[in-house]
Chain A
Amino acid sequence: MLRKNTTPGKLIIVEGIDGSGKSTQIGLLYKWLQTQGYSVYFSEWNSSDLVKSTTKRAKKRRYFTPTTFSILLCTDFADRWENQILPLLKAGAIVLADRYAFTAFGRDVARGVDREWVRNLYSFAMQPDIALFFRVPLEVTIQRITSTRSKIKYYEAGMDLNLSESRIDSFKLFQRRILSEYNNMVDEFDFTVIDGTLSVQVQQRLVRKIVKRELEGWKGLAIPEYNLSPFKQNKINHEKEVP
């Protein structure tokens, strides 16, 4: 269990295995919320500047064990949580996150770390107001990934687990484990399940309906008048303080 969101902001996240179409959906949601006049910001998994160089090096040199992989990604999340997500929520903004703690609960447990241990690791984070889980059968996502990407990366394929010599077989086995973890989280973390095999437009219509219901009667952070262009990209602006 994650603690409740007690801030005036709204946290909306998407989860799903690789190729489930969640990034497409949250991208469309983001643009829609902007045109609706909301203060909306977007945070991406594994994107902290502070941690990036370490993750990159460790991946390249294959330094990771399941435990260090798990803690380092949580470090990345913590930096974004403390310096972007939480301050924005406190200010009353809508924060959209492409992947959240649940990605770690899926992948890290699939890698073999203890379920309770990784849940404790992320216990500083809050339960999202909406957690959308895009459920797609494994055969479909595998097909989507293998047809659009030339090569699946080492850790992405779970090659560190020695499941198979073949990268594609390893990827399938790894994704199957992750999907099974996700399915177990539906009740635990109150996921709203979206059928990811539906067309993009139908899915987006469902997503907007769910979000609209959540935002009914809610007044978030106002946008200064001069900032009201619907075409402006709201990049998270975080100035690092230098004492």
Chain B
Amino acid sequence: MSKPIFYGAGFPYREIGDLPGKLIVLEGSDGVGRSTQIKLLRHWLEDEGYAVSDTGLRRSEMTQRGLEDARKGHTLSRITMSLFYATDFADRLENQIIPALQAGFIVLSDRYFYSIMARDIIRGADPDWAHKIYGFALKPDLILYLKADVTHLVSRLIHGRGLNYWEAGMDIHPLYNLYDSFVEYQSELILLFNQLSKDYGFITIDAGRPVKQVFPDLQSQIMGLLEDFQSTLDEDE
């Protein structure tokens, strides 16, 4: 990454300087296997001798408790929810991701603001408004989009952690059952992700395959990125 590039104004009140680390984002639907792949990637990269840090939505120390409470009560209105998530994202970006990149870490981000935007837009948010909120966000070095169809997601989730209220978009279709709502909501999200993929330059990886087949594809994308990373590190020696 070296010189930070932002989608908009960034953090005008703060000099960020060079970022020797790499920011790698894994995007994709609920239940597509992002966290499994991140565990594998982390293990592999650490074996290779890289310092790795990972992060994901709702892990900010500042907003975690409040956001969890709000989700439990199902009292979050649309704009309020967008902004609560944006606070979480901004806090992690400034206080976790950027410091890790400054220290030369590889940061694996389980989702980025694209997921938050997608969920906002499906709930009626103005796409331009949503995009501009994230004018403070860093452009990642690599955005890997794990793509699978809804049938695949359902099978992974039913046999895994189960379907839940928010992932099924039950706030949008309160009269549906969990299954129908999930299918409709996730299908809409996938369509929207196809669009975001073009807008933001995602690299699409077919995640409808077994974990062991998806992993090498991610590895080879990351290896491509790390070749220059390695050569800049070598120059420093």
Contact = CB atoms under 8 A, between A and B. Distances in A.
A65 B82 CA distance: 19
A243 interface: yes
Contacts of B162: none
Q: Interface size bucket, A side?
A: 35 or more
Contacts of B12: 112-114
Interface residues of B, number: 39
B95 A65 contact: yes
A48 B187 CA distance: 34
Contacts, number: 111
Interface stretch (B71-79, B202-210, B229-237): B71-79
B70 A50 contact: yes
A63 interface: yes
Interface stretch (B18-26, B31-39, B51-59, B61-69): B61-69
Interface of B: 8-9, 11-14, 61-63, 65-67, 69-70, 73-80, 82-84, 86-87, 90-91, 94-95, 126, 129, 132-133, 135-136, 170, 174
A53 B66 contact: yes
A67 B94 contact: yes
B11 A50 contact: no
A240 B69 CA distance: 13
A71 B136 CA distance: 11
Contacts of B79: 78, 81-82, 124
A64 B90 CA distance: 10
A241 B75 CA distance: 7
24 contacts: A48-B80, A51-B80, A53-B65, A54-B65, A64-B62, A65-B91, A65-B94, A68-B87, A68-B90, A71-B83, A71-B86, A71-B133, A74-B83, A78-B80, A79-B77, A111-B13, A113-B13, A114-B8, A114-B135, A117-B9, A117-B133, A120-B129, A120-B133, A242-B74
